[in-house]
A and B are shown apart, each in its own frame.
Chain A
Amino acid sequence: MNKITRRQALGATAGALTVLGLAGATAHAAVTGSRPARPATLAGTIDEVYQGRRIRIVPASGGGDHGGHHGGHQPPGLPTVLIDGRELHVMQNADGSWISVVNHYETYSGPLPLARAAVRELQGASLVPMGGM
């Protein structure tokens, strides 16, 4: 696929980031490229452009419409992750790590690394509306 691995890409992105919605520690973590701590990620909205795609992460308490609309199994408390306005189905594992529907067998440390991994996986493609049972 790419000449660099996903982890190399993750480490190399900091300089390319444009952070639109500044939100204290969360935005700082995004700018430096360091792993955002989970509490900080959940504390505020992330809004950045990564490899030309707009990532928005809205905490569950911030009005994200996660809930029973796609199967009723989605537990409360998950953030809404959007890539160019399309929702990415995400899930949190018991150990605190994260997966998404486009990286479902590989875990990530938080919603932002997860969303960036999805952007790399998508290679410019758009997400389609979430399905379900």
Chain B
Amino acid sequence: MTIRKNQASLTSEEKRAFVAALLELKRTGRYDRFVTTHNGFIMGDTDSGDRVGHRSPSFLPWHRRFLLEFEAALQAVDPSVALPYWDWTADRTARSSLWAADFLGGTGRARDGQVLDGPFAYATGKWEIAVRVDGRSYLRRALGTGVAQLPTRAEVDAVLAVPVYDAAPWNSSSGGFRNALEGWRGANLHNRVHVWVGGQMATGVSPNDPVFWMHHAFIDKLWADWQALHPQSPYLPAGGTPNVVDLTDTMRPWNDVTPADMLDHRKFYTFDTEPVPAAAGAAASQR
């Protein structure tokens, strides 16, 4: 069973294996197809029309499925690899070991935002940005420039306390947990982290930066944490909602998976720290 760990607790060997698997997916062209898929959805998902990957209730199950597919691709290269998660409430500065040269490399230089160190620096010849919205083919970052502060633990806890999963009109103007986590309303969690990293992470082709996967693995963990806190709160909407993926509707692009299939992450992986259910009951016995 796959165990997703906090990136801060990875051994040097685990970091090397993860990086090597990323580079191999990149070399074969598989990686860039994930970038293309993400950008297609981010440009196609609209508040007033069909919306699947973003700004909608299926933001969380869509990304859970997307990460599962990516993790399976990594494991086809190296079965020992699992997606790490980045708890940006704890590792919240550019001096975090996440950004060291033996892992993701650091921020970009002032002149053009280019990342110069680490395995994904352009000069290595192994990480050319091919799926792009502008002419620049090097990985860029501007850590802490677009917005000064990453979300705090207190801000996360306030969002986790929201009891309702999502609410009409099921888009970027919704109340509820999903939109507060996604960040279009309220303290702004997920969106703000994209902006804090900057570079490609702030754009529609954000999976060009490998930190995308660790950011979303943590967002995914926060969904699991929220479920444990609110075991009686279902995914919404339950059915019959135009332009929106209801509980048992299939999601593009896979068309064979529904939000209902994605609700229990333990079918696919566990976390190094599994959430503890808030309420006693059958579900509390073994986690």
User: Is B108's CB within 8 Å of the partner chain A?
Assistant: yes
Give the segment of B20-28, B92-100, B199-207 that binds chain A.
Answer: B199-207
Given contacts A6-B146, A71-B40, A104-B203, contact A94 B171 (CB under 8 A): yes
How far is B195's CA from A73's CA once the two chains are assembled, in angstroms? 25
How far is B52's CA from A16's CA once the two chains are assembled, in angstroms? 41
User: Is A51's CB within 8 Å of the partner chain B?
Assistant: no
Q: How many A-B contacts are there with CB distance less than 8 Å?
A: 110
B203-A1 in contact (CB<8A): no
A81 to chain B, nearest CB (A): 13
Partner of A106, one of B55, B146, B253: B146
Q: Which residue of A lies closest to B252 (CB)?
A: A133
B198-A1 in contact (CB<8A): yes
How far is B132's CA from A127's CA once the two chains are assembled, in angstroms? 9
User: Is A34's CB within 8 Å of the partner chain B?
Assistant: no
Chain A residues closer than 8 Å to B184, beta-carbon distance: 93, 107
Number of interface residues of A (CB under 8 A): 34
Given contacts A105-B194, A121-B202, contact A94 B43 (CB under 8 A): no
B202-A103 in contact (CB<8A): yes
Chain A residues closer than 8 Å to B48, beta-carbon distance: 75, 94
B36-A131 in contact (CB<8A): yes
Partner of A94, one of B40, B172, B202, B205: B172
A104-B202 in contact (CB<8A): yes
B203 to chain A, nearest CB (A): 5
User: Is B113's CB within 8 Å of the partner chain A?
Assistant: yes
Chain A residues closer than 8 Å to B190, beta-carbon distance: 105
Q: Which residue of B lies closest to A89 (CB)?
A: B43
Chain B residues closer than 8 Å to A103, beta-carbon distance: 202-203
Given contacts A1-B145, A75-B46, A102-B133, contact A93 B203 (CB under 8 A): no
User: Is B186's CB within 8 Å of the partner chain A?
Assistant: no
Interface of A is mostly: loop
How far is B184's CA from A123's CA once the two chains are assembled, in angstroms? 26
B277 to chain A, nearest CB (A): 32
Most buried by B among A70, A73, A89, A125: A73
B11 to chain A, nearest CB (A): 32
Chain A residues closer than 8 Å to B41, beta-carbon distance: 133
User: Is B13's CB within 8 Å of the partner chain A?
Assistant: no
Chain B residues closer than 8 Å to A95, beta-carbon distance: 172-173
Taking CB atoms and an 8 Å cut-off, the chain A residues in 1-49 that contact chain B are 1-3, 5-6
Taking CB atoms and an 8 Å cut-off, the chain A residues in 61-90 that contact chain B are 70-71, 73-75, 89
Contact residues of A with B, CB < 8 Å? 1-3, 5-6, 70-71, 73-75, 89, 91-95, 101-107, 121-123, 125-128, 130-133
Q: A94-B171, A123-B112, A127-B133 are in contact. List 4 more A-B contacts (CB 8 A).
A: A102-B202, A128-B135, A130-B43, A132-B44
8 smallest beta-carbon distances between A and B, as pairs: A133-B40, A105-B194, A94-B173, A105-B191, A1-B142, A94-B47, A73-B44, A125-B134
Q: List 14 A-B contacts (CB under 8 A).
A: A73-B45, A73-B49, A93-B184, A101-B133, A101-B204, A102-B203, A105-B191, A106-B191, A106-B195, A125-B136, A127-B135, A131-B131, A131-B133, A132-B40
